[in-house]
Amino acid sequence: MIERPTCPPEPQPVAGSVTRSAIFLVATVRDDEAAHASVRGWCADAAAYVRAVGKRVPAGNLSCVVAFSDNAWDRLFGDPRPAELHPFREFGSGQRLAPATPGDLLLHIRADQMDLCFELATLMLNKLGDAVSVVDEVHGFRYFDMRSMVGFVDGTENPEGREALGFTVMGDEDPEFAGGSFVLVQKYLHDMTAWNALPVEAQERIIGRTKLSDVELDEGVKPSWSHSALTTLEEDGKEIKIVRDNMPFGRPGAGEFGTYFIGYARSPAPIEQMLENMFVGRPPGNYDRLLDFSKAVTGGLFFAPSAALLEALAEREAPAVAESTALARLIDVSSTATPVLDVTASFPGQSSPTQPSAALADGSLHIGSLKGVSQA
């Protein structure tokens, strides 16, 4: 009898097609077993909701990624858990800070039409009911020819096809969670008045690319503190990439102009290294000058299980039951409740900024030989 090869688990659409619209939803889960059971049961239905809405407009390219934070995983599912899943690590300080903000559940909904995103978000949240509280909701859009809010083309160096899956989907490094991905999100607000006052040449040096043609600046011209230089990583002579699917958002009447950053990777380490380079500097003090005009107001790290595991999570026992029988790690539910936090923020002259939460870790990344590409 010929033994058939085992197919790797199907990932969620973390490296899906670029779409014109997106909704980013971050929610906290009410801290009682009834709410936990509701969310676990909902995991089995999430894909069905995508099919139900997507089939009505097949060309709409609808998809949804569901992901959970470290805190939520422990409370909802217990052990086993992804080895590298941990709370969001804060970087920087003062006005240049990447803050950690509350969030247990992330929904990244994408489609070429906002009505599809809106319909799916409505159905999913109706099903979850009062088991969750949405703490951040952003409706993103594509800005002309893939431009970011600051006017430069975004995502040019994203890996594609099999390469994208190789950088974003876990393999045998954590076998029980093969097919899963880590996803880090941040909401940035921009001081567009100050940014637009800069000459184009100054903007190009800050980004590290030309504004009109989207060509990377030559190494002899591009500053070491440019956004491009500090977010380029290399390990053992090879570039380490992530998949970004950033979206502009805003409310002109309220003076709000922003970018929702979302990055997928098979380990959180590369994205965290990029944040350290940006907010602390490489070397320290040589920080990303884009942060003189852009302020991070939210931050969360989540794990998106494979499609099959997401559905199977509905059958997980409550962690308290599993622990009582397996004598596993103890979880003090009362101390892990996630508070709701106002994540609005502003620049001087606008409303008061959000007070960042306390640092969650020492900021060390423990990622071995991962280093930045040397720049002139």
The residues annotated as belonging to the active site are: 154
Q: Which of these, 207, 107, 196, lies nearest to 157 by C-alpha position?
A: 207
Helix (H) or strand (E) holding 111: strand 105-111
CA 334 – CA 14 distance, rounded (Å): 33
Contact yes or no for 161/151 (Cβ under 8 A): no
User: In DSSP terms, which residues pair with 300 in a beta bridge?
Assistant: 185
- CA end-to-end span of the chain, whole Å? 60
CA 49 – CA 117 distance, rounded (Å): 11
Q: What is the DSSP string of 243-273?
A: EE--EEEEEGGGTEEEEEEEEEESSSHHHHH
Half-sphere exposure of 39 (CA within 13 A, CB side): 26
Which two three-digit tokens encode residue 304? Answer: 């998106």
